[in-house]
Chain A
Amino acid sequence: MQRAAKCALRLDLSRAFCLSRSGTVVVMQKSLPPPRDEEEKAMLDSMLRVDHAGEYGANRIYAGQMAVLSRTRTGPLIQYMWDQEKMHLEKFNEILGEHRVRPTLLLPLWNIAGFALGMILTRIACLLAFEGTMSCTVAVEESISEHYNSQIQTLMEAEPERYTELLQVIKEFCDDEKKNRDTGLEHDAESVPGYLLLKTVIQVDCKAAIYILQRI
Chain B
Amino acid sequence: MIFGIKEKSIILTNFDVLFAIATNIHVRLKTGFVLQVAVQGTVSLQCSNVRRGFHRAALLRLASDSKSDTSVPPPSYHEVHTAGESSSSSAQGESSEDAQPNTSFQDQSGEHGEDYETEEQLQARILTAALEFVPQHGWTVEAIAAAAETLGLSSASTGMFNNGAGDLVLHFVAQCNAQLAETLAEQNNQVQLGQAEAKKTAEFLKDAVETRLRMLIPYIDTWPQAMSILLLPHNIPDSLKHLSTMVDDIWYYAGDRSTDVNWYTRRAALTGIYNTTELVMVQDSSPDFEETWAFLDNRIKDVVNMANTAKQVQATGEAVVQGLMGAAITLKNLTGMNQRR
Contact = CB atoms under 8 A, between A and B. Distances in A.
- Do the two chains bind? yes
Interface of A: 1-3, 6, 9-10, 13-14, 16-21, 23-25, 52, 92-93, 96-97, 100, 102-103, 105, 107-108
A10 B260 contact: no
Contacts of A97: 257-259
B264 interface: yes
Interface string B187-225: 011011000011111000000000000000000000000
A13 B261 contact: no
A137 B236 CA distance: 46
Contacts of A52: 259
B178 A6 contact: yes
Given A1-B120, A2-B174, A96-B259, A19 B248 contact: no
Contacts of B188: 13, 17, 19
Nearest to B182: A9
A21 to B, nearest CB: 5
A19 B191 contact: yes
B185 interface: yes
Nearest to B120: A1
Contact of B181 (A10, A93, A96, A107): A10
A93 B255 contact: no
B245 A16 contact: no
A39 to B, nearest CB: 16
Contacts of A1: 120
A92 B188 CA distance: 24
B260 A20 contact: no
Given A100-B248, A100-B252, A23 B192 contact: no
Interface in B222-260: 241, 245, 248-249, 252-260
B263 interface: yes
A20 B260 CA distance: 16
A21 B279 CA distance: 30
Contacts of A24: 198
Interface of B: 120, 174, 177-178, 181-182, 185, 188-189, 191-192, 197-201, 241, 245, 248-249, 252-261, 263-264
B112 to A, nearest CB: 23
B255 A23 contact: yes
In the complex, the 9 A-B pairs of residues with the closest C-beta atoms, listed nearest first? A23-B198, A97-B257, A19-B255, A13-B185, A103-B259, A96-B259, A17-B192, A93-B259, A25-B192
B259 A10 contact: no
Given A24-B198, A25-B192, A102 B245 contact: no
Contacts of B258: 97, 103
A105 B264 contact: yes
B249 A108 contact: no
11 contacts: A1-B120, A2-B178, A3-B241, A10-B181, A16-B192, A18-B255, A19-B198, A19-B253, A21-B256, A21-B257, A25-B198
Given A18-B257, A21-B257, 19 more contacts: A2-B174, A2-B178, A3-B245, A9-B182, A10-B249, A10-B252, A13-B189, A17-B188, A19-B253, A19-B254, A19-B255, A20-B257, A23-B191, A23-B200, A25-B191, A25-B192, A97-B259, A103-B258, A103-B263
Nearest to A19: B255
B242 to A, nearest CB: 9
B12 to A, nearest CB: 29
Contacts of A20: 255, 257
A19 B184 CA distance: 12
A2 B254 CA distance: 23
B263 A102 contact: yes
A20 B201 CA distance: 11
B181 A6 contact: yes
